[in-house]
Amino acid sequence: QVQLAESGGRLVQAGDSLRVSCTVSGRTPSNFYMGWFRQAPGKEREFVAVISWSGTFARYVDSVKGRFTISRDNAKNTLYLQLNSLKPEDTAVYYCAGGTRDGVITATTQRLYDYWGQGTQVTVSS
């Protein structure tokens, strides 16, 4: 059974940087893509970024392009999200997720993910 655990979320000021991590335990399936989603208060959970198993391919939601970077270290079983130039609208609970589907290298849709963490709170003050 795969388990995901996020860490690193905290209160920061606008313009600050932060890195959140997601530790993976258990045996992951082949072609295991991983992503970050977030849910702001009163809003639906939304896609933020995804990275392929090899780390070669990454995709981002438009609102974070150029500010956030997703990466992974498979040897350490860890997924990262570097958040730069943070804005108050980035305030949310950030979730990591993982999945695998035949023919899919990256996925932006929640239903294509099988495993989810509990989330880590990122709060950006103005």
With a cut of 90, say whether residue 30 has pLDDT above it: no
Residue 97's Cβ-count burial label (10 Å; 0-12, 13-18, 19+) is buried
Instruction: Share the mean pLDDT of the chain.
Output: 97
Count how many residues are written for the chain.
126
**Phi and psi of 61, rounded to 5°?**
-70, 150
The DSSP bridge partners found for residue 60 are 49
Kindly state the tokens that stand for 83: 């958040």
With a cut of 90, say whether residue 52 has pLDDT above it: yes
Q: What is the pLDDT of residues 61-115, one digit of tens each?
A: 999 999 999 999 999 999 999 999 999 999 999 999 999 999 999 999 999 999 9
